[in-house]
Structure 1
Amino acid sequence: MAILIFFLVHWYLSLFVQTFFLHRYAAHKMFTMNPFWEKAFYLLTYIAQGSSFLSPRAYAILHRMHHAFSDTERDPHSPHFSNNAFTMMWKTKEIYNNVLNNRVETERRFDGNYPVWNFIEKVGDSYFSRIGWGVAYVLFYIAFATQWWMFLLLPIHFLMGPVHGAIVNWSGHKYGYQNFDNNDKSRNSLFFDFLTGGELFQNNHHKLPNRVNFGVKWWEFDPTWPVIWTLDKLSIIKLKPVKVKTAKATANA
């Protein structure tokens, strides 16, 4: 039971910081927060992702590239230019590392307006931190695992951030239905997206990239949206007023 609880807590906490802080805040700035809360969520992102910590700066730049070049050869993670999810994410890793380590010049339109905390960036990307978190996961499993097969979950802990990214980018651009014609391959893979916190409403998101609630139809439930709404009401964040043009759905939506 302890292993199952630990796995679910790690899965959903890591998922939350990825969709809330890295995606909706760092990449899209759908809402604002003061410096204290930005640092708090930055630190939470490091703790939640642990060995697979993703830089908010590099994440934001790659995600903006993904929107600009969606499902073309210049897309950092389109499943339509890779044989499988593993090769797709390996390509993403190479681009991510080049951006993270400033090996390539970033287009001005993708750069800036994202949170930066150099100390956490350096710690989170260090081998000491990544290996240290991995060792902590292994020790927890040694202490609480009751069946041998439970240890098969460890690789997911080690690569939690990339695992979430692989699911979203592979499934969300290959499987499901379309509400909108976006001139790309984006799909909505689930009606009730509890698995990835609303991230699998990719077709909706690519049509309305500044819409905080990724669900569009009345039956599409984005579980991260009520959390964001609550944080706004508590004045922890402040939602931006967004003027959204009415998007015309495809005839078969």
Structure 2
Amino acid sequence: MLLILLFFGAHWYASLFAQTFFQHRYAAHGMFTMSRGWERVFFGLTFLAQGSSFMSPRGYALLHRLHHAFSDTTQDPHSPHHSANALSMMWQTRTVYQEMLVGESAAATRFAGQPYPEWRWLETAGHQWYVRLGWGALYTLFYVQFATAWWQFLLLPLHFSMGAVHGAIVNWGGHKYGYQNFDNHDHSKNTLALDFLAGGELLQNNHHKLPNRANFGVKWWELDPTYALIWALSQLRVIQLPRPKAESV
């Protein structure tokens, strides 16, 4: 059982880091810069970490920029206030994401002005049904080999849809439950009690106030663990953070 739980935890937090560090803070917001070589490294690691639920950084960036522009309105691709439940919100997100990928969304053109990382052959490969099926088969084979009880197989659907699950937790929880430091004219909340599952992403109210700030925490007690890794990578000169600016908070 321990090996299964370790595998699940490693997949959860690796996929979470790929989403919050590379797709969200780098691709969607450009909160820091990196060389072309390091961009390819993190692109590849994102593919490996997300596996069967891999999302194109380009598609993610466009989808997320749409979310910020229309937060909690009817044009928001994933607001819990316009969905009957979390599953319907996830399906709506998937529909808009697919439109972004194939260029059938007017919003894709509107929000494509800012740069985002692209690696077309890897993005194309990651979205093939047989590649997703192959990742799912690998997860299943690991469980067949090491699971010690039937209930452990119930974790497999989370492996298959890991990226989507992370997004659902952030968008449902972070726009329904918690407290607000700022009036952003939307329903964004800081759901700090559940942020151990989200790596800083559930500091949504802070993020919607300061969307280009790499550190999502603004109070001394609001810990953003992903920012700690970002800071460490900047000290190692893997990435470059911009010079700090005065912020009105």
Give the TM-score category using the shorter length: over 0.9
Against the structure 1 CA distance between its residues 4 and 120, is the aligned structure 2 distance closer, same or farther, given a 3 Å change threshold? Answer: same
Structure 2 partner of 1:238: 240
Which stretches of structure 1, 4 residues or more, deviate above 4 A after TM superposition?
none
SS in 2 for 1:173: coil
Question: Is residue 192–residue 222 contact of structure 1 (8 Å, CA) maintained in 2?
Answer: no
Question: Is residue 53–residue 132 contact of structure 2 (8 Å, CA) maintained in 1?
Answer: yes
Structure 2 partner of 1:190: 192
> What do the CA deviations read for 1:21-78 (whole angstroms, capped 9, x no partner)?
0000000000000011000000000000000000000100010000000000000100
Q: Is 1:79 paired with 2:80?
A: yes
SS in 2 for 1:103: coil
Question: Is residue 31–residue 212 contact of structure 2 (8 Å, CA) maintained in 1?
Answer: yes
SS in 2 for 1:193: helix
SS in 2 for 1:245: coil
Superposition pairs for residues 83-102 of structure 1, below 5 Å? 83-102=84-103
Against the structure 1 CA distance between its residues 207 and 72, is the aligned structure 2 distance closer, same or farther, given a 3 Å change threshold? Answer: same
* Equivalenced residues, count: 247
CA distance in 2, matches of 1:105, 1:71: 19
Q: TM-score, normalised by structure 2?
A: 0.97
Superposition pairs for residues 38-187 of structure 1, below 5 Å? 38-106=39-107, 108-111=109-112, 112-187=114-189
CA distance in 1, matches of 2:163, 2:193: 23
Give the counterpart letter for 1:141 in structure 2. Answer: Y
Q: How far has the Cα of 1:222 moved from its partner?
A: 0.5
Superposition pairs for residues 11-22 of structure 1, below 5 Å? 11-22=12-23
Q: Tell me, which stretches of 5 or more residues in structure 1 are unaligned? A: 248-253
SS in 1 for 2:13: helix
Q: Tell me, which stretches of 5 or more residues in structure 2 are unaligned? A: none
Q: TM-score, normalised by structure 1?
A: 0.95
Q: For structure 1, which segment, 96-105 or 11-20, has the greater mean C-alpha deviation from structure 2 after superposition?
A: 96-105
Q: How far has the Cα of 1:102 moved from its partner?
A: 1.5
> What do the CA deviations read for 1:216-244 (whole angstroms, capped 9, x no partner)?
10001011111000000000000012434
Question: Is residue 210–residue 242 contact of structure 1 (8 Å, CA) maintained in 2?
Answer: no
Against the structure 1 CA distance between its residues 118 and 67, is the aligned structure 2 distance closer, same or farther, given a 3 Å change threshold? Answer: same
CA distance in 2, matches of 1:141, 1:16: 23
Superposition pairs for residues 198-209 of structure 1, below 5 Å? 198-209=200-211
**Aligned CA-pair RMSD:** 1.1
Question: Is residue 194–residue 202 contact of structure 2 (8 Å, CA) maintained in 1?
Answer: no
Q: How far has the Cα of 1:106 moved from its partner?
A: 3.4
Q: How far has the Cα of 1:11 moved from its partner?
A: 0.1
CA distance in 2, matches of 1:162, 1:223: 21
Structure 2 partner of 1:30: 31
Question: Is residue 79–residue 85 contact of structure 1 (8 Å, CA) maintained in 2?
Answer: yes
> What do the CA deviations read for 1:125-157 (whole angstroms, capped 9, x no partner)?
001110000000000000000010000000000
Equivalent pairs: percent with the same residue?
62
Question: Is residue 211–residue 242 contact of structure 1 (8 Å, CA) maintained in 2?
Answer: no
Structure 2 partner of 1:250: none
CA distance in 1, matches of 2:49, 2:246: 33
> What do the CA deviations read for 1:169-195 (whole angstroms, capped 9, x no partner)?
000000000000000000000157321
